[in-house]
A and B are shown apart, each in its own frame.
Chain A
Amino acid sequence: MEIIEKKQNDILIFRLNGRLDSNTSPGLEEKIFEAIESGSYKMIIDFEALDYISSAGLRVLNKSIKRLKHNEGMLILCSMQDYIKEVFEIAGFDSFLTIVSTVDEALTKL
């Protein structure tokens, strides 16, 4: 999986390309936690180019949002394919993660 990051004012945008699975999830966790350590507390993760997620990916997002909330930060997910969004719904993750349609929409919420 490729992770592209961009800073827009005080908001950090991660764009994921490929698969968020047992092998690639630790890499995303490292990136997110590094960013939190260096003081970024507002994040968007763009799922447009992501075509796979497993529970390993969900676990990283769960850990990240817990940590960000602890710092009064925020994480917004956007541009998910329908079949990936369905996994968030089945897992009940849509109840505590904000999921919106586009990056622009995510930016208005931060």
Chain B
Amino acid sequence: MEKDSNWKISFEFRNSLSELDTLRRSLEEFGKSLGMSKKSIFQINLAMEEVFANIISHGYADDEEHWIKITMWHQDGTLILRIEDDGIPFNPVEAEAPDLECPLEEREIGGLGCYLIKCLMNDIVYERSGNKNILTMKKTIGEA
């Protein structure tokens, strides 16, 4: 864990689901240090897992090891999470939402993760820079 003067914390994770537990512990520790509620910490963990799992499942065409960089900091009462990966371009903000009215048997489940992220975070911005996807998610700290 590296901390700079603005208390930005950065981590690099391999593209493996085995990294999820370490990621979760880092988020919990940071969320608690900011006084976030159990529910808010749960929601950022959930959003982060959805992003991370999407990158791992769909982001890479090869079987090589890749690194996913996660940076978190707080600013003006908001927790900001930035995820950078070198996978294929993918914009979760534009992913199609699942049709919740659709009968169960016909329902497409793929867009569910992206839909949850958009519902649980206060703001989410995607940009493609060079060969990187950069996703920035914001969560208000004071929410119950």
A-side contacts of B119, CB under 8 Å: 90
Q: How large is the interface on B (under 10, 10 to 19, 20 to 34, 35 or more residues)?
A: 20 to 34
Q: How far is the CA of A66 from the CA of B104 in the complex (A)?
A: 8
Q: Spot the interface stretch: B6-14, B105-113, B129-137.
A: B105-113
Does B46 lie within 8 Å of A52, measured CB to CB? yes
B-side contacts of A31, CB under 8 Å: none
Query: Interface size (A, Cβ < 8 Å)?
Result: 24
Within 8 Å of chain B (Cβ to Cβ): is A107?
no
Q: How far is the CA of A36 from the CA of B55 in the complex (A)?
A: 32
> Which A residues between 1 and 36 are near B, CB-CB below 8 angstroms?
21-23
Count the A-B residue pairs with Cβ separation under 8 angstroms: how many?
Answer: 61
Please report whether the interface of chain A is mostly helix, strand, loop or mixed according to DSSP. Answer: helix
Chain B, Cβ-Cβ closest to A82: B39
Does A62 lie within 8 Å of B104, measured CB to CB? yes
Q: How far is the CA of A66 from the CA of B105 in the complex (A)?
A: 7
Q: How far is the CA of A58 from the CA of B46 in the complex (A)?
A: 12
A-side contacts of B101, CB under 8 Å: 92
Contact surface of B with A, Cβ cutoff 8 Å? 17-18, 20-21, 38-39, 42-43, 45-46, 49-50, 53, 98, 100-101, 104-105, 107, 109, 112-113, 115-116, 119-120
The 4 residue pairs across chains A and B that have the minimum distance between CB atoms: A92-B100, A83-B39, A55-B113, A55-B112
